[in-house]
Structure 1
Amino acid sequence: MAEDKTKVVVSALVLEFSGHDEVTLDLSTPDSLKKLSENPVQIKEGVLYSMKFVFRVHDKVVTALRYLEETKRQGILIDRSDSFMGSYAPNIEGQPDFEVTFEDQEAPTGARACGRYDVTSKFVDEEGNNHHKFQWAYEITNDW
Structure 2
Amino acid sequence: MGLVDDNKDKDGLQESDGESSFYTTDQDDDHHDESKLHLGPQRTLKEQLEKDKDDESLRKWKEQLLGGVDINNIGAETLDPVVKFISVAIVSPERPDIVLSIPEDGNRQRLWFTLKEDSHYRLKFSFQVGNNILSGLRYTNTVWKSGLRVFSTKDMIGTFSPQPEPYTHEMPEETAPSGFMARGSYTAKSKFIDDYNKCHLEINYTFDIRKDWASND
Task: State the TM bucket, normalised to the shorter chain.
Answer: 0.7 to 0.9
Q: Which residue of 2 aligns with 1:81?
A: 153
Q: Which residue of 1 aligns with 2:129?
A: 57
Q: Which residue of 1 aligns with 2:92?
A: 17
CA distance in 2, matches of 1:19, 1:99: 21
Instruction: Give 1 or 2: higher strand fraction.
Output: 1
Q: Output one character per residue of 1:39-74: Cα deviation in whole Å (capped at 9) or x when no partner.
A: 231111100000011111121111111011111111
Instruction: Give the TM-score normalised by the residue count of structure 1.
Output: 0.85
CA distance in 2, matches of 1:49, 1:71: 17
Cα displacement (A) at 1:18:
2.3
Q: Output one character per residue of 1:11-42: Cα deviation in whole Å (capped at 9) or x when no partner.
A: 22110012111101122x517x44x3412311
- Which consecutive aligned stretches of 4+ in structure 1 deviate over 2 angstroms post-superposition? none
Letter in 2 for 1:61: I
Instruction: Give the TM-score normalised by the residue count of structure 2.
Output: 0.58
Q: Which residue of 164, 168, 177 corresponds with 1:99?
A: 168
Distance 1:37 1:107, change over 3 A: farther
Gaps of 5+ in 2: 1-79
CA distance in 1, matches of 2:168, 2:109: 23
Q: Which residue of 2 aligns with 1:8?
A: 83
2:81–2:134 contact (8 Å) kept in structure 1: no
- Please tell me whether Structure 1 or Structure 2 has the larger radius of gyration of its CA atoms: 2
Gaps of 5+ in 1: none
Q: Which residue of 97, 104, 121 corresponds with 1:30?
A: 104
- 1:48 corresponds to 2:120: yes
Cα displacement (A) at 1:87:
0.4
CA distance in 2, matches of 1:98, 1:43: 25
